[in-house]
């Protein structure tokens, strides 16, 4: 199922919608221990957001993920500036 371009198309649609709404960035959370996740997003302009650079929204997202039972030590927040 990989390499069909579906993930890239979804990200492009999200970016188009964010720009249409006048937003300046996209953020996402993914799993750090899945070897292809980070490179996939990095190739599309996303970069890791280190804890020292988290806004209050990242802490809220992390709290929600914790309540959902996700393994927080494997989570990675990323951001893409839209310019």
75: buried, middle or exposed (CB in 10 Å: 19+, 13-18, 0-12)?
Answer: middle
Tell me, what's the pLDDT at 2? 61
The H or E element containing residue 81 is strand 75-81
Tell me, what's the pLDDT at 72? 85
Confidence category of residue 4, pLDDT binned at 50, 70, 90: confident
Higher-pLDDT residue of 2 and 19 is: 19
Q: What pLDDT, in 10s, does the model give residues 24-70?
A: 999 999 999 999 999 999 999 999 999 999 999 999 999 999 999 98
Q: What is the pTM for the complete model shown?
A: 0.85
Tell me, what's the pLDDT at 5? 86
């Amino acid at each position: 199922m990989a390499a069909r371009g579906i993930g890239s198309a979804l990200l492009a649609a999200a970016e188009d919608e964010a720009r249409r709404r006048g937003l300046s960035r996209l953020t996402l959370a993914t799993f750090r221990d899945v070897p292809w996740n980070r490179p996939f997003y990095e190739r599309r302009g996303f970069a890791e957001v280190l804890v020292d650079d988290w806004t209050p929204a990242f802490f809220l997202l992390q709290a929600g993920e914790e309540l959902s039972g996700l393994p927080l030590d494997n989570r990675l927040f990323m951001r893409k500036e839209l310019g």
